[in-house]
Amino acid sequence: MPITPETRDRLTASVAQLVRTGRHLSARAATQLYGELPSFGWAVLVPLARHGDQRCSALAAQVGVDVSVASRQLAVLERLGYVERRPDPEDGRASLLRLTDAGSAALAAARALRADWSLTALSGWDEADARLLSDLLERLVTDLETAGTSQPPAVRSAVPLLADLP
Protein backbone atom coordinates (compact mmCIF):
# COMPACT_ATOMS: atom_id res chain seq x y z
CA MET A 1 0.00 0.00 0.00
CA PRO A 2 1.49 3.37 -0.98
CA ILE A 3 2.12 6.05 1.61
CA THR A 4 -0.64 8.65 1.89
CA PRO A 5 0.17 12.31 1.29
CA GLU A 6 -0.62 13.02 4.97
CA THR A 7 1.88 10.40 6.18
CA ARG A 8 4.49 11.62 3.69
CA ASP A 9 4.04 15.22 4.87
CA ARG A 10 4.21 14.20 8.54
CA LEU A 11 7.38 12.18 7.93
CA THR A 12 8.99 14.97 5.90
CA ALA A 13 8.18 17.50 8.63
CA SER A 14 9.55 15.18 11.33
CA VAL A 15 12.81 14.61 9.43
CA ALA A 16 13.18 18.36 8.88
CA GLN A 17 12.62 18.97 12.60
CA LEU A 18 15.16 16.27 13.45
CA VAL A 19 17.74 17.96 11.21
CA ARG A 20 17.03 21.36 12.80
CA THR A 21 17.31 19.86 16.28
CA GLY A 22 20.58 18.15 15.33
CA ARG A 23 21.98 21.46 14.08
CA HIS A 24 20.86 23.21 17.25
CA LEU A 25 22.51 20.55 19.42
CA SER A 26 25.68 20.72 17.33
CA ALA A 27 25.84 24.48 17.79
CA ARG A 28 25.17 24.08 21.52
CA ALA A 29 27.89 21.44 21.83
CA ALA A 30 30.38 23.61 19.96
CA THR A 31 29.53 26.62 22.10
CA GLN A 32 29.70 24.62 25.31
CA LEU A 33 32.98 22.95 24.40
CA TYR A 34 34.75 25.38 22.11
CA GLY A 35 33.34 28.87 22.49
CA GLU A 36 32.81 30.99 19.42
CA LEU A 37 33.84 28.56 16.69
CA PRO A 38 30.82 27.84 14.45
CA SER A 39 29.61 24.26 14.69
CA PHE A 40 30.34 23.69 10.99
CA GLY A 41 34.02 23.82 11.79
CA TRP A 42 33.70 20.59 13.70
CA ALA A 43 31.90 18.91 10.82
CA VAL A 44 35.11 18.98 8.76
CA LEU A 45 36.99 17.18 11.53
CA VAL A 46 34.88 14.04 11.10
CA PRO A 47 36.06 13.20 7.54
CA LEU A 48 39.63 13.86 8.60
CA ALA A 49 39.23 11.43 11.48
CA ARG A 50 37.55 8.81 9.26
CA HIS A 51 39.62 9.06 6.10
CA GLY A 52 42.90 10.69 7.08
CA ASP A 53 44.77 13.48 5.34
CA GLN A 54 42.83 15.27 2.60
CA ARG A 55 42.75 18.36 0.45
CA CYS A 56 40.40 21.18 1.32
CA SER A 57 38.36 20.51 -1.83
CA ALA A 58 37.76 16.88 -0.81
CA LEU A 59 36.64 17.95 2.67
CA ALA A 60 34.31 20.59 1.23
CA ALA A 61 32.71 18.00 -1.05
CA GLN A 62 32.19 15.54 1.80
CA VAL A 63 30.61 18.16 4.03
CA GLY A 64 28.59 19.63 1.16
CA VAL A 65 29.86 23.21 1.21
CA ASP A 66 31.79 25.49 -1.09
CA VAL A 67 35.58 25.26 -0.96
CA SER A 68 35.81 28.88 0.20
CA VAL A 69 33.58 28.13 3.21
CA ALA A 70 35.60 25.04 4.12
CA SER A 71 38.84 26.96 3.67
CA ARG A 72 37.78 29.69 6.13
CA GLN A 73 36.71 27.13 8.72
CA LEU A 74 39.88 25.11 8.28
CA ALA A 75 42.00 28.25 8.74
CA VAL A 76 40.33 28.80 12.14
CA LEU A 77 40.81 25.14 13.08
CA GLU A 78 44.45 25.38 12.03
CA ARG A 79 45.04 28.50 14.17
CA LEU A 80 43.49 26.68 17.15
CA GLY A 81 45.81 23.71 16.60
CA TYR A 82 43.12 21.16 15.66
CA VAL A 83 44.27 20.80 12.04
CA GLU A 84 47.68 21.09 10.39
CA ARG A 85 48.75 21.42 6.77
CA ARG A 86 51.52 19.62 4.97
CA PRO A 87 52.57 19.59 1.31
CA ASP A 88 50.77 17.10 -0.91
CA PRO A 89 53.47 14.63 -2.01
CA GLU A 90 51.66 14.13 -5.34
CA ASP A 91 51.32 17.86 -6.07
CA GLY A 92 53.68 20.25 -4.31
CA ARG A 93 51.42 23.21 -5.11
CA ALA A 94 48.61 21.74 -2.99
CA SER A 95 48.44 20.89 0.68
CA LEU A 96 46.88 18.11 2.68
CA LEU A 97 45.09 18.72 5.94
CA ARG A 98 45.63 16.44 8.92
CA LEU A 99 43.78 16.12 12.21
CA THR A 100 46.11 16.83 15.14
CA ASP A 101 46.01 15.13 18.53
CA ALA A 102 44.23 18.22 19.87
CA GLY A 103 41.68 17.93 17.05
CA SER A 104 41.10 14.26 17.85
CA ALA A 105 40.61 15.11 21.52
CA ALA A 106 38.17 17.90 20.67
CA LEU A 107 36.18 15.59 18.41
CA ALA A 108 36.10 12.90 21.12
CA ALA A 109 34.85 15.44 23.66
CA ALA A 110 32.07 16.59 21.30
CA ARG A 111 31.04 12.98 20.66
CA ALA A 112 30.99 12.23 24.39
CA LEU A 113 28.76 15.25 25.05
CA ARG A 114 26.36 14.24 22.28
CA ALA A 115 26.34 10.65 23.57
CA ASP A 116 25.36 11.92 27.03
CA TRP A 117 22.54 13.97 25.53
CA SER A 118 21.37 10.99 23.48
CA LEU A 119 21.39 8.68 26.50
CA THR A 120 19.30 11.17 28.42
CA ALA A 121 16.87 11.63 25.50
CA LEU A 122 16.53 7.85 25.01
CA SER A 123 16.35 6.90 28.70
CA GLY A 124 12.66 6.01 28.38
CA TRP A 125 13.20 3.81 25.31
CA ASP A 126 13.77 0.09 25.30
CA GLU A 127 16.44 -1.67 23.22
CA ALA A 128 13.95 -2.99 20.64
CA ASP A 129 12.54 0.47 19.88
CA ALA A 130 16.02 2.01 19.66
CA ARG A 131 17.19 -0.72 17.26
CA LEU A 132 14.04 -0.39 15.16
CA LEU A 133 14.50 3.37 14.88
CA SER A 134 18.17 2.90 13.96
CA ASP A 135 17.27 0.38 11.26
CA LEU A 136 14.55 2.61 9.83
CA LEU A 137 16.76 5.71 9.87
CA GLU A 138 19.55 3.84 8.08
CA ARG A 139 17.02 2.71 5.48
CA LEU A 140 15.69 6.27 5.12
CA VAL A 141 19.19 7.70 4.67
CA THR A 142 19.99 5.11 2.00
CA ASP A 143 16.71 5.74 0.18
CA LEU A 144 17.12 9.53 0.38
CA GLU A 145 20.65 9.28 -1.02
CA THR A 146 19.35 7.13 -3.87
CA ALA A 147 16.42 9.47 -4.54
CA GLY A 148 18.74 12.47 -4.44
CA THR A 149 20.85 11.08 -7.27
CA SER A 150 17.96 10.19 -9.55
CA GLN A 151 16.37 12.61 -11.97
CA PRO A 152 13.78 14.71 -10.11
CA PRO A 153 10.20 14.49 -11.35
CA ALA A 154 9.07 17.37 -13.51
CA VAL A 155 7.37 19.98 -11.37
CA ARG A 156 5.05 22.46 -12.99
CA SER A 157 5.03 25.93 -11.59
CA ALA A 158 1.78 27.42 -10.36
CA VAL A 159 2.60 30.34 -12.65
CA PRO A 160 1.44 29.64 -16.21
CA LEU A 161 4.13 29.26 -18.83
CA LEU A 162 4.10 31.47 -21.92
CA ALA A 163 3.07 28.45 -23.97
CA ASP A 164 0.00 28.05 -21.73
CA LEU A 165 -1.26 31.61 -22.24
CA PRO A 166 -4.06 32.15 -24.75
pLDDT, tens digit (0-9, with 9 covering 90-100), for 35-82: 655 566 778 888 999 999 999 999 999 988 899 988 988 998 999 899
The predicted pLDDT at position 32 comes to: 72
pLDDT beyond 50 at 9: yes
Q: In this predicted model, what pLDDT tens digit does every residue of 69-125 receive, in sequence order?
A: 889 889 989 998 999 999 988 887 889 999 999 999 888 887 888 888 889 999 999
The predicted pLDDT at position 118 comes to: 86
Asked if residues 87 and 95 have their Cβ atoms less than 8 Å apart, the reply is yes
Which CATH code fits 9-142?
Answer: 1.10.10.10
Q: Is the full-model pTM beyond 0.75?
A: no
Q: In this predicted model, what pLDDT tens digit does every residue of 136-162 receive, in sequence order?
A: 999 988 888 888 777 655 554 444 443
Q: 30 Cβ partners below 8 Å, 6+ apart?
A: 37, 38, 39, 41, 42, 110
Domain edges within the chain = 9-142
